[in-house]
Chain A
Amino acid sequence: DADVTQTPRNRITKTGKRIMLECSQTKGHDRMYWYRQDPGLGLRLIYYSFDVKDINKGEISDGYSVSRQAQAKFSLSLESAIPNQTALYFCATSESPTGELFFGEGSRLTVL
């Protein structure tokens, strides 16, 4: 089984719907991240969490919210999805600030 698991892997939804992407990890890392990847733009940080009580906005947090339910779980929500949120979303974990990032397999979201 993967150390970092994302669900769903693929989702097609309509504008205005609420969407939740879930991430769970078995690596025991405190630090968790949500990124989105768009062609030509690389990965951009949406939110990050250094422990259960610590949530921080990243570069592009508008339109998104997160919940750190436990050390192992970090969820990303789109309260009212819009087409320009169509992207590939990655959850990642790390042990330290400059440590290796371990990514989930990604969640491909399409908003029509």
Chain B
Amino acid sequence: RKEVEQDPGPFNVPEGATVAFNCTYSNSASQSFFWYRQDCRKEPKLLMSVYSSGNEDGRFTAQLNRASQYISLLIRDSKLSDSATYLCVVSSGSARQLTFGSGTQLTVLP
């Protein structure tokens, strides 16, 4: 079982739609959680950290469920510019090493 698993998609949604991605992690002792965004042929960039209480940044909402060991990302009112691959990232261990999921591809259609 992979340490961090994501549905690879692709998710194809119309503009204005709401879309949600889930990510599961295997290490129950994982400490920190993040969503990164990667545009085609570009470097990943931090989208948002995920806090235990859940957090929101504009149209983006991240949730953490430690009991079920998953995190989620909700995007409301999708824009064409949201088209990208979304990477789930989990920090574990004494060295706080980051483990990346393989990413979920989103395409927002006009």
Contact = CB atoms under 8 A, between A and B. Distances in A.
A5 B101 CA distance: 24
Contacts of B102: 40-42
Contacts of A90: 43-44
A27 to B, nearest CB: 14
Interface in B5-50: 8, 31-32, 36, 41-46
Contacts of A56: 95
Contacts of B95: 56, 97
Interface residues of A, number: 19
A103 B39 CA distance: 13
Interface of A: 35, 40-45, 48, 56, 58, 90, 97-98, 100-101, 103-106
8 contacts: A40-B8, A90-B44, A97-B95, A97-B96, A98-B91, A100-B46, A101-B46, A106-B41
Given A41-B102, A103-B44, 18 more contacts: A35-B100, A40-B102, A42-B87, A43-B100, A48-B97, A58-B97, A90-B43, A90-B44, A97-B95, A98-B91, A98-B96, A100-B46, A101-B36, A101-B46, A101-B98, A106-B41, A106-B42, A106-B43
